[in-house]
Structure 1
Amino acid sequence: MSSDNSSWNRFARLKVSSKDVNKRLRKIEKGSLRHAHKFVTSRLDRLSNVRRRVSVWIILVLVMIGASAVQWHISRNSFTTMAYTSGGSYSEGVLGPLENLNPIFAKTNAEKSAAKLLFSSLYRYDSTGNIKADMADSVSVNDKETEYIVKLKKGLKWSDGQDLTADDVIFTLKLLANPEVGAEISGWKSIKFEKVSDDSVKFILPSSYSPFVHALTFPIIPKHILKDVKPSNLREHDFNKSPISSGPFAFRLLQNVTSDGSKKVLYLQSNSNYYGSTPKLERFQLYAYPTQDDIAKSLRTREITGTPELIYNDQSAEVKSMYAAEAHSLNNGVYALFNNNSQFLRSKAVRQALSLSVDTSKLRQSLSLSTEELSGPTLNKFLGKSSNSSSYDVKKAKSLLDTEGWKSVNNVRQKGNDKLKLNVVVLKNSNYEKVARYLAQVWYDELNIESDIKVVDPNDATQNILQTVLQPRNFDVLVYELSLGGDPDVYAYWHSSQATNNGLNFSNYNNAIADDALESGRSKISAKQRADRYAKFTAISASGRSSDCFVSAEV
């Protein structure tokens, strides 16, 4: 207590003068102003110089960084390569329906796509359309080319781990040859086959058939799963919904997306037992849609990654900005087939007139997809030279009709009281329909021939194109795509023996000399001899003008 009082007493005795305080404050203020002038104000004129130098240095540094980035980018592109890696998923849209996963019953685009992904064959076609070995290791042929022995690769297995052997091949062939099965693959009734060993099968032909190896592209199905199933019951077996496979992918799930089953998704996974090593893709989804419009919509919503069903140039700008297109040759030909037995086209002169009035080059240019010229029944590459383009001569076409008695009366071709009016049938497809409309317009504008165009949807079961159009040949002109494949043999499409309800000679073409050339071409061993025979057949068909190709093979 006494200590605190002492401190207070000393503070109380202090004498503070306000005058002294003000004097000291002014002194401090003057010192501060001198210091600010010396170290701040007097140096403001140097700040702009410093700022310019700093800016220059910053710009130089940025330029150096940019130059280094460009150099790195150029060097990276020069010394790096894009490479595929494993994993990932791909979703493809195809036209359905997708009802059966057994490949011998594959009928629609969706079912055929599933078959290619799930099942292997002895031989297959590569991306260029040429045939190559699939599960076959080698093939030996006797001198007469009537016996083929195919040896399988070693270590072939099904997706469930079971061995794939010659027994599976024989089992499949017996099913294909059995009419009770009703397989979509035909032609095996006249060919004998037998097991040589666990890895070899012999095929015995009734006569030499040069393109026989192309027949070995049939899919093989597992005997150990289906051996106890009656052939007549095979379509209803559970295997058709959940198959064991041998191809690059294995079955996971088949999902119904819509209540009526019109849209389905097939989920596949890489097949670890595939002989060709595990695929790069881990998963593959196959979306089956009822219409092309549904596929286009799924592209816009990115439900699928790609599709082979649509023509890129026909799509909206939105879709084109989202996707790129890649073209591959199909080795197919699109034809306007003239029915030689129809009321009007029995006449060679009328067929010639229809053909001569069409500028096929102009027609191809009007399409929204790129095509190659195809002016005959066989792909040009098989003849060793380009085939002659079909001639274009409207004046001659008119003269032929006039001479035949079909006169133009009030812009309509008539013979007496009969009008020349064609029944043109075309499969539902934007480009095919465009071809049909083009032909009808040309024939009317140039020749005064009227046409009725009927569009048939091959995916609509109620229309049944096979029974209503193809088998009865219910058309005058048919715009249709023929699969020409990797061999020049076109016997099935043009030989007179195939002009039946169950044959593929839709034109009802019948020419004895052409028949001889076709028979000789498929029996010759020499490639040159075969080319000579098919060149002869092409010349005969061109001179007769019985049918012409107006649109080339797609590329």
Structure 2
Amino acid sequence: MLKRFNVKLAFLILMLLFGIVLAACNNDTANEGEGEDPDEQTEDPGSDTDEEDEEPANDEPQMGGNLVGAMDTAPAGVFNPIFYEEAYEANILDFTHEGLLTQDETMAFGPGLAHDWDINEDNTEITLYLEEGVKWHDGEEFTADDVVFTYKTMASPGYIEAGGVRTEYVDKLVGYEEFVNGETDEFEGVVAEDDYTVTFKFAQSNVTILKDVAFQIIPEHVFADVPVAEMPEHPATLNAGEVIGTGPFKFSEMLEREQYVLEKHADYWQGEPYLDSVTWRIVDQSVILGLLESGEIDFIADPNGVPAADYESVASQDHIEIIEQPDFGYQLMGFIHNHRTDEDAASGEINPENWIPNEDMSEKLVRQAIAYTIDRQAIVEELLLGHGSVINAPIAQQFWAYDDAAGTDYSADLEMAGSLLDDAGYVDADGDGYRDTPDGEEWVVNLNYPTGNQLRERSAPILAQMIEQAGIQVDLRQPKEMSAYVEDLTNNNEDWDLYLLGWSLGSGDPDPSGLWRSKDAYNFGRWNNPDSDQLITDGITPPDAFDQSYREDVYSEWQGLFSDDLPALLLYAQNKIYAFNERVNGIDPMPYGFNNDPQLWWVSE
């Protein structure tokens, strides 16, 4: 019954077919933070010139210059913090928009657009004092009204239906349910005390209060008269030159799917950026490395850094600097537990009561059996060349809540896989070498994946072959471009069974809200587990949740439940390998992303 093949040989064949040794870029991530003084980030190459001819040493930040970064996939085109979904779009928004708070290398919160704040004794209110004199890119002044508008929009009726996925930042605020359900026109949760003071009011003590007030702000004066349903298609969401933020760079030009130009915001409130511009070029992975070596591009960063296969080649280039760090996220193979109805997909409604079970993937024994067919360690060793790790828990490894031991270690075990499938009634009824459904019909499991990330593309046929070893017939679908792929996942009203995806996790808190609750928009597999929902709620419910040891216990239990019920099999966390030309100074990535303090980046020639 068990179909066996040589895993090492399969990897070798696929490496030859796909040209892995010559490939050029991979991974997933996004976010922001604080950087070091640029003086401490530069290297002085030294000089042997005579004193009388001596020019100033080129070890101080220089004004001017342009940088070119490369992405292998074009942004979907939604450049609005409250609506975007992809890390490619984040590469624009990280430069253009800001939140009230930032985070440092320890993930502690610090000042951003707010320079100070007060929290009341029971953590139900936080009052933030905003920086004065901050200018939007169009010259208008940033005020507390912009903060109120941003959060009110995310709490508004129709936000979810319009494609909004950031309700975790507003659903704990006072009056949210009444406001989102249309029972009142007033939103009590966020109040402008004056032009530079804003208060957030939560319905109960809030364990994640700093994370919840740190979201990027959008301008009221641009969107005030735009219905929520129309915001995703508004020119100020889509068009270069019309996207307005407070960040150090303006989104000024775009040749769609080819290049995206950010020019400096000279009136930036933290000081004029050193660089004149940063341009993102969309380049096929097969040529990115060559362009970096020739100097045509200056850096390769998020979301797909340098692939592990090219590490040695890049490291051998004297003019290229490399930074390697663990990814703040993971790659997964998801299981579609349930499908949405066509009506819900069309309206944007997420209602578990309407979901239609995916007949085979809704069986836990089947999901566990498929998990046991995957040799994840072989993928890390053969495709990542050791630049990564197998993980068993869907929380970033850098967080205190990560508990690798809490979950089931689904090491490759074909005997276990076969036993579980037998128990579930999936046996080879007709003798063709493939298992059939319990009612004797042909069983075909489809595996879907997007283009753009070469490592993920290479892993897809490997995963299909591994699954077929247990006698499961796999239909490896043709990959789709990422934006179309995400649209299909969001609608989830088709016949998908398995999907590949990478998650770049938020750095604010290990709370898995937003990804894995039943009603979360990003819960693409439509996993509906009340016990999971309750544990996620318990992890942020005071007063117990103010005790970190309590939260550790809750999240450990939740990670065990996740691993047992398997909304997804976590495949690996690839190390991020960033590379940049030595002429670039001031680079200081945070644990969760590369695009940190770009106003402090500068170039030396």
The normalised TM-score by structure 1 is 0.72
Q: Is the 8 A contact 1:110 1:288 kept in 2?
A: no
Q: More displaced, 179-188 or 281-290? A: 179-188
Rg bigger for which structure?
1
C-alpha distance in 1 between matches for 2:195 and 2:86: 34
Aligned to 1:540: 561
Equivalence map 1:106-505=2 (5 Å): 106=84, 109-126=87-104, 131-159=109-137, 162-178=140-156, 182=162, 184=164, 186-187=166-167, 190=171, 191=173, 192-224=189-221, 227=224, 235-237=233-235, 240-242=239-241, 243-250=243-250, 253-254=252-253, 256=255, 261-269=256-264, 271-279=265-273, 281-289=274-282, 291-292=284-285, 295=288, 298-299=291-292, 302-308=295-301, 309-314=304-309, 323-340=320-337, 341-368=357-384, 370-380=387-397, 381-383=399-401, 385-388=403-406, 390-392=409-411, 393-408=413-428, 409-414=431-436, 415=438, 417-428=440-451, 429-445=453-469, 447-460=470-483, 463=484, 465-467=486-488, 470-472=491-493, 474-486=495-507, 487-498=509-520, 503-505=521-523
Unpaired runs of 5+ in structure 2? 1-46, 49-56, 174-188, 338-356, 577-605
Within the candidate set 514, 531, 538, 2:552 is matched to: 531
The normalised TM-score by structure 2 is 0.67
Q: CA deviation at 1:420?
A: 3.2
Q: CA deviation at 1:535?
A: 0.7
CA separation of 1:344 and 1:162: change in aligned 2, threshold 3 A? closer
Q: Is the 8 A contact 1:121 1:135 kept in 2?
A: yes
Aligned residues: 465
Aligned to 1:517: 535
CA separation of 1:329 and 1:211: change in aligned 2, threshold 3 A? farther
SS in structure 1 at match of 2:515 = helix
C-alpha distance in 2 between matches for 1:547 and 1:229: 38
SS in structure 1 at match of 2:299 = coil
Describe the superposition over 1:303-322 as per-residue Cα deviations: whole angstroms up to 9, x where unpaired.
32123345334559987765
Q: More displaced, 363-372 or 180-189? A: 180-189
Q: CA deviation at 1:137?
A: 1.9
Aligned to 1:86: 62
Q: More displaced, 377-386 or 395-404? A: 377-386
SS in structure 2 at match of 1:356 = helix
Of structures 1 and 2, the one scoring higher in RCO (CA 8 A, sep 6+) is 2
Q: What code does the residue aligned with 1:365 have?
A: E
Aligned to 2:350: none
**Percent of paired sites with the same residue:** 22
CA separation of 1:317 and 1:520: change in aligned 2, threshold 3 A? closer
Query: Which one has a larger percent helix, Structure 1 or Structure 2?
Result: 1
SS in structure 1 at match of 2:149 = helix
Q: Is the 8 A contact 1:376 1:548 kept in 2?
A: no
C-alpha distance in 2 between matches for 1:513 and 1:313: 39
C-alpha distance in 1 between matches for 2:226 and 2:519: 35
Q: What code does the residue aligned with 1:149 have?
A: T
CA separation of 1:420 and 1:470: change in aligned 2, threshold 3 A? same
Describe the superposition over 1:336-360 as per-residue Cα deviations: whole angstroms up to 9, x where unpaired.
1222332222222222211223232
Question: CA-atom RMSD, angstroms?
Answer: 3.7
SS in structure 1 at match of 2:421 = helix
CA separation of 1:470 and 1:452: change in aligned 2, threshold 3 A? farther
Q: CA deviation at 1:520?
A: 0.4
